[in-house]
Amino acid sequence: MKGHACIDPLHHVHDASGFVAAVERASLERGLRLTPIRARVLGLIAEAGRPLKAYDLLDQVRDGEGAGAAAPPTVYRALDFLLANGFIHKLESVNAFVACHHPSTAQHSVPFLICDRCHSAVELEDAQVVAALDERARALGFVPQAQTLEVHGLCARCSG
Ligand SMILES: [Zn+2]
Ligand SMILES: [Zn+2]
């Protein structure tokens, strides 16, 4: 199986409303409920097109009109749901969230390539990297439960 690295960070989630609709369908199939606040948080992350910091997200939700407005704990609960079900990823090193472009699969570990100049983040779809780490850890008797693989540097556009 060959992985692919997409060099355009906007390639996968370019249509935020289409992405939310896809997640809605995936949720139904998996017996999950994408409530209005969960859908709104997901939509904001998808629209951002790049990693969205938690405080920016809170600002945007607070500035929402009427039913769109929500308190921080509600937003964090929505984030927990989206993370637990693999619809978004959290980038620990920059404390930001990105939409996952294959929302029909469950939560998965993926290496991320993060550009320190334009702040784009790309999922490196390479199951071998994740599997190799898992294997080496288990060989040492270590039982991995979560992998955070974030590579910082300059993307093709910024380094070119
Ligand atoms: Zn993903
Ligand atoms: Zn860049």
The number of folded domains in the chain is 1
Which structural domain range is residue 102 located in? 7-159
Q: Which residues pair with 97 in a beta bridge?
A: 52, 90
* Residue 33 DSSP code: -
Q: Which helix (H) or strand (E) holds 17?
A: helix 16-29
Residue 2 located in a structural domain:
no
Residue 1 located in a structural domain:
no
Residue 84 CB contacts under 8 Å (≥ 6 apart), including other chains: 107
pLDDT computed for residue 99 by the predictor: 92
Kindly give the distance from the C-alpha atom of residue 96 to the centroid of ligand 2, in angstroms, as a whole number: 16
pLDDT computed for residue 33 by the predictor: 94
Residue 12 located in a structural domain:
yes
pLDDT in tens, the chain (160 residues): 333 444 444 445 568 888 899 999 999 999 999 999 999 999 999 999 889 998 899 988 887 665 556 788 999 999 999 999 989 999 999 999 999 877 777 667 889 999 999 999 998 888 888 899 999 999 999 998 878 899 999 999 999 8
Residue 53 located in a structural domain:
yes
Apex 94 CA angle, 93 and 99, nearest 5: 105
Residue 87 located in a structural domain:
yes
Residue 66 located in a structural domain:
yes
Total-model pTM: 0.82
Q: Which protein residues have a CB closer than 5 Å to ligand 1 (ion)?
A: 100
Cα gap 130→115, rounded to integer Å? 21
Q: What amino acid occupies position 146?
A: A
pLDDT computed for residue 3 by the predictor: 36
Kindly give the distance from the C-alpha atom of residue 5 to the centroid of ligand 2, in angstroms, as a whole number: 14
Kindly give the distance from the C-alpha atom of residue 66 to the centroid of ligand 1, in angstroms, as a whole number: 31
Q: Could you tell me the CATH number of the domain that includes residue 78?
A: 1.10.10.10
Residue 84 located in a structural domain:
yes
pLDDT computed for residue 125 by the predictor: 81
Kindly give the distance from the C-alpha atom of residue 9 to the centroid of ligand 2, in angstroms, as a whole number: 9
pLDDT computed for residue 13 by the predictor: 52
